[in-house]
Structure 1
Amino acid sequence: MAHHARSYKDDVEKANRFKIFKQNLEFIESFNKAGNHSYKLGLNKFSDMSPKEFKATMLTDENNIVHPATKFPKGNSLGNNESTVIDPPNSVNWVERGAVTAIRDQLKCGACWAFSTVAAVEGITQIKTGRLVPLSEQQLMDCDETNNGCGGGWPTKAFQYVQEANGLMSESDYPYKGYKQATCATTGGYAAATITGFDQVEQGEDALLQAVTNQPVSTVISLDGYVLQHYESGVFATDCGSGASHAITVVGYGATMEGDKYWLVKNSWGTTWGENGYIKMVRDVVEGGLCGLAKMASYPTID
């Protein structure tokens, strides 16, 4: 409670939260003691939340969001992009290359789609211009009417908004609130970054590998959330289940000293979750990528 600044309305709620906490702790300890996993679980700010509550709060119900049949302005696959790489390097890390801003926190709001979109736009902006500027998720929340604020959304729709709105303001000029405000507050605001288009990546990890070689890439995974809720470190390699969606940003790839290939993923659950806000997800073991990571990837472009 002290570490995560938790407070509860009364002793009844406190006792209930402590019961949930103990159940989660027992699961975490049992999982780690098994010793046959490539990753570890640990306590974090979600440890007093039940699996059902975590899923309802931090993820988007797949039944509420329909993947858009978007028409992409610059072709509909990576194969049409001139930056396609024939022979990708063994590893890429856009964090180390300076194209990724600090981990942020979507709070108790299903705004992952906005954070994934922003991270990808920040990345290509830095690659093309040399400027790494934290951009505004709140602008997407308030102004992108094709998505649903805390109710979820899709990066492709958000990229379309960014292109048509002539860019995104900076995070400092239009800070995140954790909820959709009643009005769009961009009037007179200065766009800190713009894009000229966006593309989708062909399904499959080979195409995603080539895309990530060029820039950070947005994608959407399917999951039920329970094991991922407690992820702490290592290469995550468990089937995610289904029933909910979550948007993330692939910012690199590589392999551990033990030879486990992974995708390096930026999440939006703050720095107390995972490896300081990041997760390594296993690569080249499941068709379509673990949790469907390589099925719905897309990225912004700048001419």
Structure 2
Amino acid sequence: MAPWLQLLSLLGLLPGAVAAPAQPQAASFQAWGPPSPELLAPTRFALDMFNRGRAAGTRAVLGLVRGRVRRAGQGSLFSLEATLEEPPCNDPTVCRLPASKKTLLCSFEVLDELGKHVLLRKDCGPVDTKVPGAGRAQGAGEPKSAFTQGSMISSLSQPHPDSRNETFSSVLSLLNEDPLPQDLPVKMASIFKNFVITYNRTYESKEEARWRLSVFVNNMVRAQKIQALDRGTAQYGVTKFSDLTEEEFRTIYLNPLLREEPGNKMKQAKSVGDLAPPEWDWRSKGAVTKVKDQGMCGSCWAFSVTGNVEGQWFLNQGTLLSLSEQELLDCDKMDKACMGGLPSNAYSAIKNLGGLETEDDYSYRGHMQACNFSAEKAKVYINDSVELSQNEQKLAAWLAKRGPISVAINAFGMQFYRHGISRPLRPLCSPWLIDHAVLLVGYGNRSDIPFWAIKNSWGTDWGEKGYYYLHRGSGACGVNTMASSAVVD
């Protein structure tokens, strides 16, 4: 067992220890000022994490704070903004030039779950004044739409009898901070060449090619570390996304709106009441269309919903039709096309528009266009939509009886996923940070490991012919937190 895995095991931080929380409900930001009693503990924790490793006299001091809290189950997610005052640097052994004290504006995300604090995000930059909201340096301070997963869980804390936090280094720093072996780029050159040929990559200049090689090398090291930390049978390595930085991948292919906006409220589905069969696969029963490719567009939400509606129409009307995602990109004005969207909004859009056209009639372009929907060409309609249980046994029973399910997950590790059953450590794949919508089409067991069979929308040249297999029964990556379906009568 890898030493960092042993560390997490000793700390009791392996997945499955805590049930996946319900999708959190957002609260409005409190006013700027000293931290309120509710925000005091997470704010102090965030400040401790910011000052970690700093010598006395160089640590930042807390200024003004504002924040909000979202609660679900036994967890609370704190979104904080704070001003920090850094002391001046006048030590010639540390700083080249004397520097006056500096004011920073920081955004923090702190998860408090069963008495443990987890820092999910830290984003700080200088401001021009102590007053929050005033001008600041470019790129500083503003919360980013996509987290950098590699810098997520930077540390953990546990209550202590004397009210102080005991802090522990997290495994995640290993994903970013280890230096590369000096001979590794040389060994990677031939692998990178094969990657370029396999995926028909072209680069505009030698400089860009060298840059992409360096990104590729770092990604392979990262994939190896993700591999070492996975508790399933998944294999990670070279994929068609291996020359993209983590931020590029998230910005282009993922969907941060899934965790940031509540969407339309749906009624709760009635329980089917039956025990789930040992295994089920709608692909073998004709309810699933071929794997599609969303391209360089964050439209996973549209593919997840059309996949569900395709299955519902097949089960209720007896015909399998490939339906139009482009219609949703163009005509669903509640969502944001390639910038992301929510399944709950998409169901409402389909109902309000009067149905969905087929892929043949309204083909996919991968970018937003003027709405060209024709009610006369609509081949499929829906009557309603429902939210499903977060209990995975009930989800399996519902799937086996009612059809494929739209779900959202945290896509940690999927950039490098090749095959097998993925089971990332829970702190690495938090259900609070879902960012990708997909389709559950079945479930079963491989070598006694339970899995969900998930239809993705990145083409057949990714994963297992376009499919992803995720551990079932542990709330892995939040797979059970946003399950839904259309209703076709």
TM-score scaled by length of structure 1: 0.89
Distance 1:184 1:139 in 2: 7
Greater mean alpha carbon deviation, residues 59-68 or residues 29-38? 29-38
In structure 2, the residue corresponding to 1:60 is in which secondary structure? coil
Q: Is the 8 A contact 1:55 1:244 kept in 2?
A: no
In structure 1, the residue corresponding to 2:341 is in which secondary structure? coil
Let me know the Cα RMSD of the aligned residues: 2.0
Q: What's the offset of the Cα at 1:255?
A: 0.7
Which residue of structure 2 lines up, in the alignment, with residue 264 of structure 1?
453
Which residue of structure 1 lines up, in the alignment, with residue 302 of structure 2?
114
Distance 2:313 2:228 in 1: 44
Aligned with 2:374 (options 180, 187, 191): 187
Which residue of structure 1 lines up, in the alignment, with residue 405 of structure 2?
217
Distance 1:151 1:64 in 2: 13
Which residue of structure 2 lines up, in the alignment, with residue 45 of structure 1?
240
Structure 1's consecutive aligned runs of 4 or more residues displaced over 4 angstroms after TM superposition are: 29-37
Q: Deviations over 1:189-221 (max 9, x none)?
A: 511211111111022212311221121010112
For residue 154 of structure 1, what is the amino acid of its counterpart? L
Distance 1:133 1:177 in 2: 19
- Does the alignment pair 1:255 with 2:457? no
Alignment of 1:171-186 (within 5 A): 171-181=359-369, 183-186=370-373
Which residue of structure 1 lines up, in the alignment, with residue 268 of structure 2?
77
Which residue of structure 1 lines up, in the alignment, with residue 348 of structure 2?
160
Distance 2:200 2:260 in 1: 33
For residue 282 of structure 1, what is the amino acid of its counterpart? H
Which residue of structure 1 lines up, in the alignment, with residue 423 of structure 2?
237
User: Structure 1 residues 189 and 22, CA, compared in 2 at 3 Å: closer, same or farther?
Assistant: farther
Greater mean alpha carbon deviation, residues 189-198 or residues 32-41? 32-41
- Does the alignment pair 1:59 with 2:254? yes
Q: What's the offset of the Cα at 1:60?
A: 1.9
Which residue of structure 2 lines up, in the alignment, with residue 297 of structure 1?
483
Q: What's the offset of the Cα at 1:100?
A: 0.6
- Does the alignment pair 1:138 with 2:326? yes
Greater mean alpha carbon deviation, residues 203-212 or residues 14-23? 203-212
Distance 1:188 1:244 in 2: 34
Q: Is the 8 A contact 2:230 2:423 kept in 1?
A: no
Which residue of structure 1 lines up, in the alignment, with residue 220 of structure 2?
25
In structure 1, the residue corresponding to 2:349 is in which secondary structure? helix
Q: Is the 8 A contact 1:42 1:231 kept in 2?
A: yes
Provide structure 1 residue ranges, at least 5 long, that are not aligned to the other structure. none
Q: Is the 8 A contact 1:266 1:277 kept in 2?
A: yes
Greater mean alpha carbon deviation, residues 110-119 or residues 242-251? 242-251
Which residue of structure 1 lines up, in the alignment, with residue 285 of structure 2?
97
User: Structure 1 residues 9 and 243, CA, compared in 2 at 3 Å: closer, same or farther?
Assistant: farther
User: Structure 1 residues 188 and 32, CA, compared in 2 at 3 Å: closer, same or farther?
Assistant: closer
User: Structure 1 residues 163 and 69, CA, compared in 2 at 3 Å: closer, same or farther?
Assistant: closer
Q: Is the 8 A contact 1:59 1:244 kept in 2?
A: no
Q: Which structure shows the higher strand fraction? A: 2
In structure 1, the residue corresponding to 2:241 is in which secondary structure? coil
Q: What's the offset of the Cα at 1:19?
A: 1.2
Q: Is the 8 A contact 2:292 2:459 kept in 1?
A: yes
For residue 387 of structure 2, what is the amino acid of its counterpart? Q
In structure 2, the residue corresponding to 1:131 is in which secondary structure? coil
Q: Deviations over 1:159-211 (max 9, x none)?
A: 11112222100111111111111x10013651121111111102221231122
Q: Is the 8 A contact 1:62 1:243 kept in 2?
A: no
Greater length-normalized contact order (CA 8 Å, ≥ 6 residues apart): 1
User: Structure 1 residues 34 and 148, CA, compared in 2 at 3 Å: closer, same or farther?
Assistant: closer
Distance 2:258 2:300 in 1: 16
Q: Is the 8 A contact 2:276 2:394 kept in 1?
A: no
Q: What's the offset of the Cα at 1:222?
A: 3.1
Q: What's the offset of the Cα at 1:259?
A: 0.5
Q: Deviations over 1:92-133 (max 9, x none)?
A: 101111111111111111100000000000111111222111
Q: Is the 8 A contact 1:91 1:252 kept in 2?
A: yes
Provide structure 2 residue ranges, at least 5 long, that are not aligned to the other structure. 1-195
Q: Deviations over 1:11-69 (max 9, x none)?
A: 11111111111222233356557896421113111010111211111112258840214
